Structures are given as structure tokens and as C-alpha cells.
Chain A
Amino acid sequence: MTGSEVLLKALELEGVNLVFGHPGGAIMPVYDALYDSSIKHVLVRHEQGGAHMADAYYRASGKVGVCFATSGPGATNLVTGLATAHMDSSAVVAITGNVPLSLIGTDAFQEADVYGITGPVTKHNYLVKDVNDLPRVVKEAFYIASSGRPGPVLIDIPKDIQNATFTGTFEVEIDLPGYKPTIKGHAGQIKKAAEALRAAKRPIMIVGGGSQSAADQVVSFVDKTGLPVITTLMGIGAYPAASDNWLGMPGMHGTVTANKAITSCDLILAAGIRFDDRVTGKVSTFAKQATVVHIDIDPAEISKLVEAHVPVVGDLKDILPRLEKELNKLELSDWWTQLNEWKSNYPERFNREGKTLGSQEVIRMFYEATEGKCVVTTEVGQHQMFAARLFPTHKARTWITSGGLGTMGFGLPAAIGAAFARPGETVICIAGDGSIQMNIQELATLYKHQLPVIIAICNNGVLGMVRQWQEMFHHERFSEVMLADSNPDFAKLAEAYGIAGYNVFDRETAKKLIPELLAKGKPAVVNFVVYPSEKVFPMIPSGAGVEDMIIGDQEPEYDYDTDIYGEKELA
């Protein structure tokens, strides 16, 4: 057996049957072996797309995503994808070819120090120098990627190792004495957490990305205790949106109710969250009045930003059921009276009757047409925040976004990866006209595989989030945000790739088209032309505290007809 054959067999032993990748000189032996392999390969059009697909494949299925790339530029193109997966704790194994060992360090053609470059954006990485190490390295890579706090692992394999003759064995043990993730929560800490919860009068639970793998336990826990639930951007879907106990998203663009609950609660049960600055705003004023019970699998997240009064390190799947056993239904009727008052005072609202179509209106149409029973991926920007508020889902692993790194260009490849992970389910990619162009080449991958992906471009002709900040904090100096003067015709562009494309300018057409496309289950690109000055509210300005929230057009009395935040001319 050659190293390449060993690699593929080792991947099969890990249960891999799908790989996203792009070949090149230094990984040709692997692609040669792939020719005879049962592993299905999806040819991407840019390695970044492959990394995002593998990332979303994991997020949507819980199975480790795998991507291949060649040396040098192939591998450096993966870096943004790996950083995205690293920030959002997504289990990806990336395999890169490299120049032969004898040429490493000589500035050979297509050589880059991939091992060095990817160190800071991976949970772990390997440079394989002996073909007989491959079975162990692959086994360890999958174990590291998927256990504890998940993350990406890269394996760099020089070309001569791919061709070398294997004399080792597949009967290998994982050899990682320095890596022992804590799974079981400490019994004493769980008791303390239960005591704190029983004593609390106004508790809330915030669930994050870590709870995507423990959604059943979250639902059961909330059913038993009656806690109000806030889902972070990464936690959307882990608890059914729109159910009675759900308060929405916290933070910079969180719901009024969620943010008011954070400033008024006396206890936060934080489950699988890392208190990102987009959630906390100014940390020094974040929920100072509250006792913080923090459950996380990564001890380094405990008290990193927000001091945990009761830390519990371990897996939510272990800890939540044990904590649930310690508790009965909590007596929270006064607290719920307050929360429900906020909920009814601050319902989701946006202009459904503006002169022109708005992004929020379009995104909500998709929610109403699907009832949130689909897979949502997003690009990054205003549409992402609108989607978080107006298009949440109800099942774990169905709401996929680049939360930590905020990678524009994530949504389209992520939709493809998610569609492979969840066959038979419709995937809707909410995009902006800026973001979609960052990995638009993957339309070719989408066309080839005819996946049920609908790409909804909220085309406001500008980089909307940057424009919003410029309008609000930079004296309307709209520096370099104009896209409309040079955007392509997105419908024609889609058609050039063989995908059905639509340009939509009015709400009647939109309302008619969306259900039709959902029924078809074919790839489609819909370019909704929307007005540019729409803004995401509520908003906590960067660096300000939750108490400084600008409620904007989410104010109950806000009148869209006299619209100070409304439809201005394109700047």
C-alpha cells in the first residue's frame, strides 16, 4: 500500500464517505488513489469553499467534515475556512499535500509553511514525516477534532510520503497523554448550581453553540424547570424558536426582551457559551447583578470574560440531565409576568408596507413560508442579523452561520455542505449582495450536484452593515460601501451557471415566488432588490453596555411612515 491508499483507508475507518476538495500537484497521489476509492469527492471551485463546506457538513450533521487541498496556495486558501471553523468550534479534518520532504524549506514551487501558518487557526496540526504514522495520525486527528470542544485539525502530508510504501499497521492506539477533555461534570459543582437556581427569583438560561450537540437535554431541562431561554447567534435552533419560553437572541442586535432580561435577571445559567463581546457589550457592566452559573466543556472559557460564580466544566449532555434531577419546576410566575410584558411590548416588527421591498420583509417571508422548518445558512452582515431575529429555526444543527470569525463568503458553501449533510431538506442561504460575491464560484458546485439550495440575496446595493455604522457613528460619510453601480445581474449570473435566477423588485412577486421555489426543491438564486438604508435594530453600539441599547424601529410607537431610520436615497 502507498501512503495515499493508507490515508483513504484510514479515512474510511473513521466513517468518512464524503470529502470536499480541489486537487493540485502536491496532492496528486491522493487523488490518484481516490479514483479507485468508494469515498465520494465534491470538486469545489476554491479551497476556501471546500473548508466551509466541510465545516457546515459537521455543523449540520455532527459528523466530522473533511476537505482536501494541495500545497502552497491550495493550503493557504484553506486558512480562512479553518479560522472560521476554529472560532465556531467546528470539527473539520483538513488534509493538505506538500512538496516532498527533501524540498521542504527550500522555497520549492507551491511550497508554503502550512504547518506554521495553520497552527494558530487549528486545534491541532500534523506534518507527517513517516508513512507508517498515517493511521495513528488520522485516528488522533478525528478524535481531537470531534471530542471535547470540537475544532479543526490539519494533516500536512509531503508528496513522497503519499507515494511511500507502507509497512506499518492499522491496529494503532491514540497516543495523546496531554489531551484529556473533561466530560463528566463535578457532582459538588452541579449541587451548587442547583442551589443557586433554586434560590434565584429571576433566572435566565443562555444557550450557545455548545448546546447544538445537547439540544434534547436543553429542551428537557427547560420543560422541567420552566426557565426562560435566550439563544445566542450560535445557539439558534438548539432550543425551538418562537416557543413560549424563548426570548430570542442577546447582545448587540439581540431582542429587547432578551437584553432587558439580562440586565434584570439575578442568575444566568450559561450553557455552552463563551460570552463573546457581541453578546456582552461592555463586559464591566454586563449583568453585574447576576450570579453566573457557567457550564462549558472548555475550562479556559470559565471566567475568561465574565466571572463564573459557579463553574461546571464538562459536557452538557452529562451535566444538564444531572442538574435537572436536582430541580423541580421553579417558581417564576412574577418573573414571567415581567418577561411576557416585555415580549408583548416589543414584538418583532418591521415595515411590511414600505415604498420598496425591505430585507426584513423578504427574510420573514421565508420564515412564514417554511415556518422555520428548514436549514438556514447565512452570509455575514445586516441580513445575518435580520435572519437571526426573523428566520430562526426549531431544531439543532439547522441554523448555520459564521458567528465568531464573521466570514463573508461562508453562506453559499455552507449551504452546499449542509445540503450534503441533510439530504432531503431544503437549505435556504440568506445572503447580501456583498457577501455572496466572495465565494460565488461555488454556484458551479451547486449546479453540478443539483442540491435543494435557495440563495436569497437581499440586494440593497451597499455593504449594509458598514453603511449602517457610517450613518450612525461616522456622520454619514459613506466611505467605499457602494456596490450597486457595479453589481452583476444576479439572475443572469445564476443562469450562466445553469441555475434558475430571478430578479425580484416587488412584494407581490416575492410572495408568489417563494412557495413555488420551496416546492421545486431545485437550486435557485433570487435577487431581491431592497432599499439601502434599512438598519438592524435594536443595536448596542460597539463598546457600550447592554443598558445603552438603541431600540430604534423596534420601539412600539415607532411610525414607519415618518421613518427617521427609513428609506433614504442611496448615498
Chain B
Amino acid sequence: MNQKYVLSLTVRDRPGVLVRVAGLFARRAYNIESLSVAQTEVPGISRTTFVVTGDESSIEQVEKQLQKIINVLKVINHSEAKYVDRELMLIKVAVTSLDERTELRQIAADFRAKIVDVHQNALIFELTGDEGKVEAFIEQMRPFGIIELIRTGKVALTRSAEDPKVKKSVLAAKAA
């Protein structure tokens, strides 16, 4: 049965590594729903978070195949432990009246979204949150007229309580 998986990969910043990763998902008929990549605290190492839809029986196989890619350092399947995830959205919404502007400001405050750009006919909001919150906000904005929006895709970290070993190693480094 198809379901969503959140996978995090730490990779070396080498050309081609993302092509190999994406190619692997494509070959196994996994649909990449979102993908975010950025540098980590270690120079030369990036972390990517993938949200993919696929069936359970082959997710383990995909993890193993990902691990085989020479420049992939670590593969984390977040469905195996509790994790926190967030995504960031910028959304541009049409404003035609003062009433609308007031109403929009109120909804934004409820969602703790920030206004990052103001124009006489439009506002841009910045919102972070999990998928549910982001989607709820989009639904609230829809009646006003969404001009355009962009989402970063999910980023995820395993909860600290689920990963005590790593925590200890960092604490040890701090003490030293």
C-alpha cells in the first residue's frame, strides 16, 4: 500500500550525488513529493529531506540502495522514530479592501504568520509549521485570492529522546 515516507540523507557536496539519489527514487517508481537541500554545520556536508510516496515493502530496499551511493553518508527513515518536521511557506494574497486587510492580519496573527511584504493590492506572509498548519493556512487564504505561493518542502530531525547516542557524543565534545 502506498504511503508517505520522510527520509533524511546526509551527503557530501559532490556533483552528481543528488542526480544519483533522484535517479534511484525514479527507478523504484517512488514519487518525490518534496525535497529540500542545504548545508549543515559541517562544511562540505549537506542534508536533504525527502518526502516520498511508495509502498512499505520496498522502502527498506530503497534505504539500502541509497546507502550504497558512494557520497551518501547516512540515511534516516523518520518513520522508525519520533521526529519533528517543519516547512516554510511564502504566500502572496490579493487585498482589495481595508476590511480584507484587517481580516487577513487577524488570521495571520492566529497562525503566527509574519507579514514580510506590503503592497496596496497584496500582502506576502511567511509561515512555518508542519504540513497540517501550512495547508490550513492556504485554505484560509484561498477565498481572498492566492496570487502565488512557494513552499520549501519538509525538513525533519529525529527527536532527541529517540537518539541519545548522538546527544552524548556532542556533549562529550563540548566538555572536552
**B19 touching A116 by the CB < 8 A rule?**
yes
**A177 touching B73 by the CB < 8 A rule?**
yes
**Which of B12, B16, B72 has a CB less than 8 Å from the CB of A125?**
B16
Chain B neighbourhood of A123, CB < 8 A? 70
Chain B neighbourhood of A124, CB < 8 A? 70
Nearest B residue (CB) for A148: B68
**A299 touching B64 by the CB < 8 A rule?**
yes
Chain B neighbourhood of A177, CB < 8 A? 12, 73
**Which of A120, A127, A144, A299 has a CB less than 8 Å from the CB of B70?**
A144
Query: Is there a chain A Cβ closer than 8 Å to B69's Cβ?
Result: yes
Question: Measured between alpha carbons, how far is A50 from B65 in the docked complex, in Å?
Answer: 29
Query: Is there a chain B Cβ closer than 8 Å to A519's Cβ?
Result: no
**A120 touching B68 by the CB < 8 A rule?**
no
Which of A144, A299, A300, A303 has the most CB atoms of chain B within a 10 A radius of its CB?
A: A300
**Which of B19, B60, B61, B71 has a CB less than 8 Å from the CB of A178?**
B71
Chain A neighbourhood of B60, CB < 8 A? 303
Chain B neighbourhood of A379, CB < 8 A? none
Query: Is there a chain A Cβ closer than 8 Å to B27's Cβ?
Result: yes
Q: In chain B, residues 1-29, which have Cβ atoms closer than 8 Å to a Cβ of chain A?
A: 11-12, 15-16, 19-20, 23, 27
Number of interface residues of B (CB under 8 A): 19
Nearest A residue (CB) for B11: A178
**B64 touching A178 by the CB < 8 A rule?**
no
Smallest beta-carbon distance A405→chain B, Å = 15
Count A/B pairs, Cβ under 8 Å: 37
**A300 touching B61 by the CB < 8 A rule?**
yes
Contact with A along B26-65 (1 / 0, CB 8 A): 0100000000000000000000000000000000110011
Query: Is there a chain A Cβ closer than 8 Å to B158's Cβ?
Result: no
Query: Is there a chain B Cβ closer than 8 Å to A35's Cβ?
Result: no
Smallest beta-carbon distance A511→chain B, Å = 50
Chain B neighbourhood of A304, CB < 8 A? 61, 64
Nearest A residue (CB) for B19: A119
**A300 touching B64 by the CB < 8 A rule?**
yes
Chain A neighbourhood of B77, CB < 8 A? none
Query: Is there a chain B Cβ closer than 8 Å to A298's Cβ?
Result: yes
Query: Is there a chain A Cβ closer than 8 Å to B128's Cβ?
Result: no
Smallest beta-carbon distance A435→chain B, Å = 28
Question: Measured between alpha carbons, how far is A177 from B74 in the docked complex, in Å?
Answer: 10
Question: Measured between alpha carbons, how far is A178 from B60 in the docked complex, in Å?
Answer: 19
Chain A neighbourhood of B27, CB < 8 A? 120
Chain A neighbourhood of B23, CB < 8 A? 119-120
Smallest beta-carbon distance B163→chain A, Å = 20
**A115 touching B16 by the CB < 8 A rule?**
yes
**Which of B11, B16, B19, B67 has a CB less than 8 Å from the CB of A300?**
B67
Query: Is there a chain B Cβ closer than 8 Å to A473's Cβ?
Result: no
**B68 touching A300 by the CB < 8 A rule?**
yes
Question: Measured between alpha carbons, how far is A144 from B68 in the docked complex, in Å?
Answer: 11
Question: Measured between alpha carbons, how far is A303 from B65 in the docked complex, in Å?
Answer: 13
Secondary structure dominating the interface of A? mixed
Question: Measured between alpha carbons, how far is A541 from B71 in the docked complex, in Å?
Answer: 41
Contact with B along A116-146 (1 / 0, CB 8 A): 1001100111010000000000000000100
Number of interface residues of A (CB under 8 A): 18
Chain A neighbourhood of B12, CB < 8 A? 177-178
Smallest beta-carbon distance A276→chain B, Å = 15
Smallest beta-carbon distance B75→chain A, Å = 10
**Which of A115, A176, A298 has a CB less than 8 Å from the CB of B68?**
A298
Chain A neighbourhood of B16, CB < 8 A? 115, 119, 125, 127
Nearest A residue (CB) for B74: A178
Question: Measured between alpha carbons, how far is A176 from B69 in the docked complex, in Å?
Answer: 11
Nearest B residue (CB) for A125: B16
Question: Measured between alpha carbons, how far is A247 from B155 in the docked complex, in Å?
Answer: 54
Smallest beta-carbon distance B54→chain A, Å = 15
Nearest A residue (CB) for B12: A178
Question: Measured between alpha carbons, how far is A304 from B68 in the docked complex, in Å?
Answer: 14
Smallest beta-carbon distance A120→chain B, Å = 6
Chain A neighbourhood of B70, CB < 8 A? 123-124, 144, 176, 178-179
Chain A neighbourhood of B67, CB < 8 A? 299-300
**A119 touching B73 by the CB < 8 A rule?**
no
**B20 touching A178 by the CB < 8 A rule?**
no
**A127 touching B61 by the CB < 8 A rule?**
no
Smallest beta-carbon distance B19→chain A, Å = 6
Question: Measured between alpha carbons, how far is A127 from B67 in the docked complex, in Å?
Answer: 21
Contact with B along A177-192 (1 / 0, CB 8 A): 1110000000000000
Question: Measured between alpha carbons, how far is A116 from B15 in the docked complex, in Å?
Answer: 10
**B72 touching A178 by the CB < 8 A rule?**
yes
**B73 touching A178 by the CB < 8 A rule?**
yes
Nearest B residue (CB) for A178: B73
Question: Measured between alpha carbons, how far is A176 from B70 in the docked complex, in Å?
Answer: 7
**Which of B15, B68, B69, B73 has a CB less than 8 Å from the CB of A127?**
B15
Contact with B along A287-310 (1 / 0, CB 8 A): 000000000001110011000000
Chain B neighbourhood of A115, CB < 8 A? 15-16
Question: Measured between alpha carbons, how far is A272 from B16 in the docked complex, in Å?
Answer: 29
> What are 22 A-B interface contacts by the 8 Å CB criterion?
A115-B15, A115-B16, A116-B19, A119-B20, A120-B23, A124-B70, A125-B16, A127-B16, A176-B70, A177-B12, A177-B73, A178-B12, A178-B69, A178-B70, A178-B71, A178-B72, A178-B73, A179-B70, A298-B68, A300-B64, A300-B65, A304-B61
13 additional A-B pairs beyond A144-B70, A178-B73, A299-B64, beta carbons within 8 Å, are: A116-B19, A119-B16, A119-B19, A120-B27, A125-B16, A127-B15, A177-B12, A178-B71, A300-B64, A300-B67, A303-B60, A304-B61, A304-B64
Q: Which of B's residues lie within 8 Å of A, judged by CB? A: 11-12, 15-16, 19-20, 23, 27, 60-61, 64-65, 67-73
Question: Which 10 A-B residue pairings sit nearest by Cβ, starting from the closest?
Answer: A300-B64, A178-B73, A124-B70, A179-B70, A178-B71, A300-B65, A178-B72, A299-B64, A119-B20, A120-B23
